[in-house]
Amino acid sequence: MSTAVNAQYEAEVRDPLILGKKSYHQMTEDICRPVEGKANKYWWTAFIISSTTMTWGILCLCYTIGNGIGSWGLNKTVGWAWDITNFVWWIGIGHAGTLISAILLLFRQRWRMSINRSAEAMTIFAVICAGLFPLFHTGRPWLDYWMLPLPNQFGSLWVNFNSPLLWDVFAISTYFSVSLVFWYLGLIPDLATIRDRAITPTRKFIYGLLSFGWKGTARDWLRFEEVALVLAGLSTPLVLSVHTIVSFDFATSIVPGWHTTIFPPYFVAGAIFSGFAMVLTLMLVARKVLGLEEYITTQHIELMNKVIILTGSIVGVAYITEFFIAWYSGVQYEAYAFQNRAFGPYWWAYWSMMTCNVVTPQLFWFKKIRTSAMATFIISIFVNIGMWFERFVIIVTSIHRDYLPSSWTMYSPTFIEVGIFVGTIGLFFTCFLVFARVFPVIALAELKTVMKKTSNQYKHKGVLHK
């Protein structure tokens, strides 16, 4: 990508985005190695663990389908708990990919190029994991297709366009399709590279098919970049809309603690927050395992950590605002819902959320911490946990004690529910590991555009290499 999107002046004093004075060839070699070579033992270990976990999740899911939702810990008062918590959590994680590929593309943030491919892949896998929950949390999952506005023989039956769950169906399916197309589009030139480097006919054939006959002509590039821009334009509102709509599931309801107008921005910020945390978690592992430290540099980590501070602080402000409004509104149910969150029987969930989401990211104000891979990794895990708890707190602590105290109950998960959640983590990592072996994890063609030109290096030798 050189013209429309990437034609941009970059100050020479800026640190290079890629270290190690790579040549184009060296870069191709580095990035294609995991795809073309044999898997190392780290990969196999990770793959076996994650696929086993995934299998366990599948078994738990089968048990649920066979016996009924009763095999979960839900009850007459708490109709959603881990299922929707996990759904929102995974959807949130997916957000980083779209943000990086679309919004950062439009903002010409070229540092995104090292990470956008895997972040987008992550988005797709996260959305798959997320989608499983609404699909299988229903009492009769075999009838889920009734939630689609399909012409049918049932008479004049139609879906309810008033229902936020229906909006979810549209939001998520749109999000998934656009993300998938965008991701795949970016892959095409790289797949062609692998095709061209192929030494076996099978590989040549498969990547030939996958690369849709990419020739690398100017006309190809022109169209490629235009489509990329169009898709970026399409995806940008999605970043905001998907989690907004997910938040409507709660915001449009009547449940104190759910019925909150702050939810859309708060959920979007939370989603980006958790998405970046998950990207960091994954990338820090991937760069180590795949040896990509020179492509995903400390600069990348630091930049992402800055996004985390920003979104983490937005989320923190949102938490406090909710509390203020609960008191200021004078609505006793609302006030109680929030007092109950912090001091009720699920206080531990609330304070875990507060610690993980509000306190820990603030450590990134220290440059030492935000540039340390290890510290970042740990904090990113905290954020992942914290954001899970955020959704749990919103969902469970709101409905377990709503209007009539006679119906108040407690909720605790069964091992089946836990199993399904752990299973989706297994699914996510299995997908990611397979992805890392069959597709280049870094957008090779794009990244080549941000290399400092060889001529530059010579011209400004004095500046760059003191």
Partner 1 sequence: MNKTYWKGVEELQNDAKFVQLKNNEFAEHLPLDEIVQEKSADITVSPRRDFLKFLGFSVAAASLAACEAPIRKTIPYLNRPEQVTPGASNWYASSYHDGYDYCAVLVKTREGRPIKVEGNTSSSVTKGGTNARIQASVLSLYDNARLRTPIANGAPVSWENMDREIAMKLQSVASANGKIRILSSTIISPSTLKVIEEFGKKYPNTKHVVYDAVSCSAMKAANKESFGVDEIPSYNFDKAEVIAAFDCDFLINWISPIEYSRQYAETRKLDSGKKTMSKHVQFESALSLTGSNADERYHVKPSMQGAVLANLYNAIASKAGATTVNAGSVGELAKAISMLADDLWTNKGKSLVVCGINNTAVQNLVNGINSLLENYGTTIDLDNHCHLRQGNDADMALLMDEMSKGEVGALLISNCNPVYTSPMGKQFGDAIKKVTCSISFADRADETAAACQYICPDHHPLESWNDAEPKLGKYSLTQPTIAPLFSTRQFAESLLMWAGSGSNYHDFIAQHWNANVLKGKSWNEVLQEGIFEGEQGASKSYKSAANLTAAADAAGRMNVAGVEMTLYEKTGVGSGVQANNPWLQELPDPVSKITWDNYLSVAPKDARDNSWKQGNIVEVKANGVSMKMPVVVQPGQMPGTCSVAVGYGRKGAGKVADGVGVNAYPFMTMVDGQLMAAAGGVQISKTVEDDVLLATTQSHHTMMGRAIVKETTLDEFVKDPTAGNERDLISVKVGKEEKKMNAQELNLWNSFEDGNHHFGMSIDLNSCIGCGTCVVACTAENNVPVVGKEEVTRSREMHWIRIDRYFSSDADPKEHESGDIKAMEIPSDNPKVVFQPVMCQHCAHAPCETVCPVIATSHSSEGMNQMIYNRCVGTRYCANNCPYKVRRFNWFRYTDNPKFDFNMNNDLGKMVLNPDVVVRARGVMEKCSLCVQRLQEGKLVAKKQGRKVKDGEINTACAQACPTQAITFGDYKDKESKLNKMWEPNGRSYHLLEELDVQPNVFYQTKVRNVKAEAHHEMSEEKKG
Phi first, then psi, for residue 446 (nearest 5°) are: -70, -45
Burial of 461 (0-12, 13-18, 19+ CB in 10 A): exposed
Q: Give 134 or 386: the residue with its C-beta nearer to partner 1.
A: 134
Nearer to partner 1, 43 or 170 (CB): 170
Nearest to partner 1 of 5, 337 (CB atom): 337
Residue 410 binds to partner 1 (criterion: CB under 8 A): yes
For residue 87, give both structure tokens.
């759904």
Quick one: which segment of 180-188, 230-238, 402-410, 443-451 binds partner 1 (CB under 8 A)? 402-410
Residue 348: how many other CB atoms lie within 10 Å: 9
> What is the C-alpha radius of gyration for the chain, rounded to an integer number of angstroms?
23
Question: How many Cα atoms sit within 13 Å of 335 on the Cβ side?
Answer: 6
Nearer to partner 1, 104 or 399 (CB): 399
**Contact flag: residue 151 with partner 1 (CB under 8 A):** no
Q: 414-418: long-range contacts at Cβ-Cβ below 8 A with a sequence spacing of 24 or more?
A: 414/71, 414/72, 414/73, 415/60, 416/60, 416/63, 416/64, 416/71, 416/72, 417/60, 417/72, 417/73, 417/81, 417/82, 417/83, 418/82
Contact call for residue 165 and partner 1 (CB under 8 A): yes
Per-residue string for binding with partner 1, 121-150, x by CB under 8 A? -------------x--xxxxx-xx-xx---
**Per CB under 8 A, does 75 bind partner 1?**
yes
351 counts as binding partner 1 under rule CB under 8 A: no
Instruction: Select from 59, 227, 335, 464 the one that contacts partner 1 (CB under 8 A).
Output: 335
Q: What is the spatial distance between Cα 235 and Cα 258, in angstroms, rounded to a whole number? A: 27
* Residue 120 · residue 98 · CB < 8 Å: yes
328 touches partner 1 (CB under 8 A): no
The verdict on 13 binding partner 1 (CB under 8 A) reads no
Torsion of CA 9, 184, 240, 6, to 10 degrees: 10
Site residue total, partner 1 (CB under 8 A): 54
Residue 253 within binding range of partner 1, rule CB under 8 A:
yes
| Piece in contact with partner 1 (CB under 8 A), picked from 2-10, 68-76, 231-239, 426-434 | 68-76
Residues in contact with partner 1 by CB under 8 A are 67-70, 73-77, 79-80, 134, 137-141, 143-144, 146-147, 157-160, 162-166, 169, 249, 252-255, 332-333, 335-336, 339-340, 343, 399, 401-410
